[in-house]
Amino acid sequence: MSAQPSAPERRFGATTALSWIVSIVFNVVLPIITYNQLTDHGWGDFSALAVSSLWPVADTVVYLLWHRRLDEFAIITMIFMALTLVVTAIGPHSTRLLLVKDSAITGLFGVVCLVSLATPRPLMFFMGRKFGTDGTKEGVAHWNGMFARFPGFRKTLKTITLVWGVGYVVEAAARIALSYALSTDAMVGVNSVLSYGMPVVLITWTITYSKRARAKGEAATAAAAAAEAESAPAAA
List the domain range (segments joined by +) for residue 23: 10-88
| pLDDT mean across residues, the chain | 76
Q: Is residue 3 part of a domain?
A: no
Q: Is residue 229 part of a domain?
A: no
Q: Which residue has the higher pLDDT, 20 or 221?
A: 221
Q: Is residue 74 part of a domain?
A: yes
Are both 99 and 209 inside the same structural domain? yes
Summarised one tens digit per residue, pLDDT across range 68-116 is 665 555 566 666 666 666 666 665 556 666 667 767 778 888 998 999 9
CA distance 148 to 203: 24
Are both 130 and 56 inside the same structural domain? no
Q: Is residue 5 part of a domain?
A: no
Q: What percent of the chain has pLDDT above 90?
A: 15
Around 224, how many Cα atoms within 13 Å sit in the side-chain half-sphere? 6
Q: Is residue 1 part of a domain?
A: no
**What is the end-to-end Cα distance of the chain in Å, rounded?**
34
Are both 181 and 135 inside the same structural domain? yes
Q: If you average pLDDT over residues 21-49, what whole number do you get? A: 77
Are both 53 and 103 inside the same structural domain? no
Question: Which of 36, 67, 88 corresponds to the end of one domain?
Answer: 88
Summarised one tens digit per residue, pLDDT across range 146-189 is 899 888 899 999 999 999 999 999 999 998 888 888 876 677 67
Are both 125 and 144 inside the same structural domain? yes
Q: Is residue 39 part of a domain?
A: yes
What pLDDT band is residue 10 in, cutting at 50, 70 and 90? very low
What pLDDT band is residue 226 in, cutting at 50, 70 and 90? confident
Residue 6 has a pLDDT of 43
Q: Is residue 19 part of a domain?
A: yes
Residue 87 has a pLDDT of 63
How many domains is the chain built from? 2
Residue 203 has pLDDT above 80, yes or no: yes
Are both 72 and 109 inside the same structural domain? no
Are both 51 and 96 inside the same structural domain? no
Question: Which of 88, 117, 152 corresponds to the end of one domain?
Answer: 88
CA 3 to mean position of chain CA atoms? 32
Are both 125 and 195 inside the same structural domain? yes
Residue 205 has pLDDT above 80, yes or no: yes
Are both 60 and 122 inside the same structural domain? no
Residue in 187, 202, 42 with CA at minimum distance from that of residue 103: 187
Residue 206 has pLDDT above 80, yes or no: yes
Task: Identify the H or E element spanning 209.
Answer: helix 184-235
Q: What does the buried/exposed string (b/e) look like for 155-187 if buried means 16 or more CB atoms within 10 Å of the residue's CB? A: ebbbbbbbbbbebbbebbeebbebbeebeeeeb
Q: Is residue 152 part of a domain?
A: yes
Residue 173 has a pLDDT of 92
Question: Which of 88, 118, 141 corresponds to the end of one domain?
Answer: 88
Q: Which residue has the higher pLDDT, 127 or 70?
A: 127
CA distance 27 to 197: 18
* pTM assigned to the model: 0.65
- Residue 11 corresponds to which amino acid? R
Q: If you average pLDDT over residues 28-40, what whole number do you get? A: 81
Are both 75 and 156 inside the same structural domain? no
Summarised one tens digit per residue, pLDDT across range 189-202 is 777 677 768 888 88
Are both 52 and 132 inside the same structural domain? no
Are both 136 and 155 inside the same structural domain? yes
